[in-house]
Amino acid sequence: MDPIARNHVTVTGNPAADQTIVFVHGLGTDQTAWHAVAAAFQQDFRIVLLDNVGAGKSDPEAFLQSRYLSLHRYALDLLEVCEALQLQGAALVGHSAGAMVAALAALRQPDRFSRLVLLGASPHYLEDGEYHGGLTHAGLNDLYKSVLHDRPGWADAYAPSMLGPSGTASQSLRFADALKAIPSDRILTVLCSILQSDLRSDVARLALPTLILQTRNDDAVPPAVAEYLHAVIPHSQLVMLEVDGHLPHLSAPSLVVEAIGPFLRA
């Protein structure tokens, strides 16, 4: 399958630019979530946007449950897109699960990328001894039950908590609708691939210059996780954004642009 069509890849920005930025979205969003942030880099960078398989306008027939039980398959998809576009030395910017997809891709082919931005990223969502991922096993089971038995109610409550107080009602509504639109036979597979992943040993092997962005209060990823990433990833920087919520690229894109601009242009 052609990866450009499979992932509904969009290439914009300056075609003559020396540098390329690839944006990777997280759960419940698609490439359009990056539009406000990507617009700030259109003149100086080539911009690559894509929809992860199972999201947005990606090929609906590409999602096979047996292939997407972990984030590793999404990372391979991303690498296939980069290969098709003949990208070399590109910057990767990922949000949430998309941040871990970007990290896994960078580990597989580090020479293909120049730097990495992890926004609202978590290598492991579960509490584990002194590691505070934010989610207990009981909480995970309750989440699965809510998704199975009352997905509309879960989505309507989950969306505003993820946007935070800076998010608008229309943004929360769109995010909730996107979560409801994920087919019932797919949603648990996607959630399991994210929430039950443990990529702590993987991220510790990252060698690229890495910028970690974290909001002050995030119901999905506690600040302690960002501090953990900063401690274990060599050559990393940590920037705490003065905003709440898990989707600052939607609720406060100017803060994200301000944080990543100097890093991408260095």
> What would the 3-class secondary structure string for 237-248 be?
EEEEEEEECCCH
From the list 72, 218, 244, 251, the catalytic residue is 218
Tell me if residue 96 is catalytic: yes
CA-to-CA separations, 232 to 81, 86, 200, 202, in angstroms, rounded:
28, 31, 9, 10
Q: Are 120 and 213 in contact (CB under 8 A)?
A: yes
Choose among 71, 38, 36, 35: nearest CA to 56: 35
What's the rounded Cα separation, in Å, for the pair 249 and 37?
Answer: 7
236-260 burial, b if ≥16 CB within 10 A, otherwise e? bebbebebbbbbbbbbbbebbbebb
Catalytic residue among 96, 114, 122, 193: 96
Residues 204, 232 contacting (CB under 8 angstroms): yes
Kindly name the residue from 77, 246, 249, 251 that is annotated as catalytic.
246
SS3 113: strand
CA pair distance 74, 130, nearest whole angstrom: 29
Output the furthest CA–CA distance in the chain (Å, rounded).
52
Which among 229, 201, 202 has a CA at the least distance from the CA of 214? Answer: 229
Evaluate whether 250 touches 159 at the Cβ level (below 8 Å): no
- Phi/psi at 170 (nearest 5 deg)? -70, -35
- The residues annotated with a catalytic role in the active site are 96, 218, 246
